[in-house]
Amino acid sequence: MPGLFRSKSLLFCSNAGCLKHNEEIYHHVQQLLQSKGKSGEIKLAWSLCMRSCAVGPNILVLPEGDIHSHMTIEKAEEIVNDLLKN
């Protein structure tokens, strides 16, 4: 995954506790980016466990390196909109 960690990316935790909710959030974000014509501007990928299961589902935002917990579709939309502004 060369360049993944330097570009705007969202990594979705795929551990069992997060995966159930992150699948829905991932697909929503994918559709949101497509509807805005911005599919190539933010990379989406799955990650291994982020070791924050108690506060999941979790998404890692790169290149900042921030883990966002208790993720919802609404929070994911805010993150996407912030990334698209910068």
Long-range contacts of 29-33 (CB under 8 A, 24+ apart): 29/76, 29/77, 29/80, 32/77, 32/80, 33/80
* Segments making up each domain of the chain, as ranges: 9-85
Distance in angstroms (rounded) separating the CA atoms of residues 42 and 68: 16
9-85 fold:
Glutaredoxin (3.40.30)
Q: How far is CA 81 from the centre of its chain?
A: 12
Tens-digit pLDDT string for the chain (86 aa)? 455 557 899 999 999 989 999 999 999 999 999 999 998 899 999 999 999 999 999 999 999 899 999 999 999 999 999 999 87
Amino acid at 26: Y
Q: What is the pTM of this model?
A: 0.89
